[in-house]
Amino acid sequence: MPPQEIQEIYNHNVQQVLDLTGIFVFAVAGALMAVRKNFDVIGIVLLAEVTALGGGVIRDLIIGDVPPAAFRDLGYFSTPLFAAGLVFFLHPQVERISRTIDIFDAAGLGLFCVTGTAKAFAYGLGPVQATALGITTAVGGGAIRDVLAREVPVLLRWDREIYTVPALVGAAAVAVLVETGQFNAYTATAAAIFAFAFRVLALHKGWRAPRAWRRNSEVRGDFD
């Protein structure tokens, strides 16, 4: 499929719906993290914005789409504001927050690995690079959120369920779909749902990735 055609499909069908949905759910996850860490209302808004827009801004800087969509389209910027407002007034009991963060975060992961990969293709990157950029888009905002909130990024921890693998699967699925000419709004949505379901299942079943081969785990190095 020629880049122009991809860009057309991407712009009209996929981007507007999937991207804003991803921004909304990531913003909810970021705002909930801010509530859990006891940040104030400004911190809630900032963490919502950074979580929701961080991955996409990195993606746009890398492919050279400047200023990034987040600084052009008013909807990109105001959606996290709205999500932060919702969380500020309606957040559930603090005890249940961690689980809720995980679900919203999984939805953002599924959506952004698809839109990130598709946009990278539209800007002329090869399939492997587009997949890598899709993963970057999906995990970037959450990584910035974790760094600012002084958490060890979930994507690095062995004691957490697999996080990057669902994004990798979703991004690779988009790469295959584009290369075989099967990429459209329906298959894109299916790929996003598949990556989301994969992540939720991993959380539910406790799927983990192995640590280094025969590592002597007696020694220091766990989360301090």
Where on the chain is the footprint of its own copies (CB under 8 A)? 34-44, 46-47, 57, 61-64, 66-68, 71-72, 74, 77-78, 87-89, 91, 93-95, 120, 123, 125-126, 128-129, 132-133, 143, 147-150, 152-153, 155-158, 162-165, 208-213, 215-217, 219, 221-223
Shortest distance in whole angstroms from residue 81 CB to its own copies: 10
Length of the chain: 224
Q: Return the number of the residue (66 or 197) whose C-beta is nearest its own copies.
A: 66
Q: Return the number of the residue (167 or 187) whose C-beta is nearest its own copies.
A: 167
Shortest distance in whole angstroms from residue 186 CB to its own copies: 28
Q: Return the number of the residue (4 or 95) whose C-beta is nearest its own copies.
A: 95
210 with 159: CB under 8 angstroms?
Answer: no
Q: Which helix (H) or strand (E) holds 52?
A: helix 41-63
Tokens 């640590």 label which residue?
211
162 with 80: CB under 8 angstroms?
Answer: no
Cβ neighbour number for residue 13 with a 10 Å cutoff: 15
Q: Return the number of the residue (46 or 173) whose C-beta is nearest its own copies.
A: 46
Q: Return the number of the residue (111 or 143) whose C-beta is nearest its own copies.
A: 143
Shortest distance in whole angstroms from residue 31 CB to its own copies: 9
Q: Rg for the chain (alpha carbons), in Å?
A: 17
Q: Which long-range contacts (CB under 8 A, 24 or more apart) does 94-98 make?
A: 94/35, 94/36, 97/32, 97/35, 97/36, 98/36
Shortest distance in whole angstroms from residue 209 CB to its own copies: 4
16: closest CA among 130, 154, 115?
A: 115
Shortest distance in whole angstroms from residue 48 CB to its own copies: 12
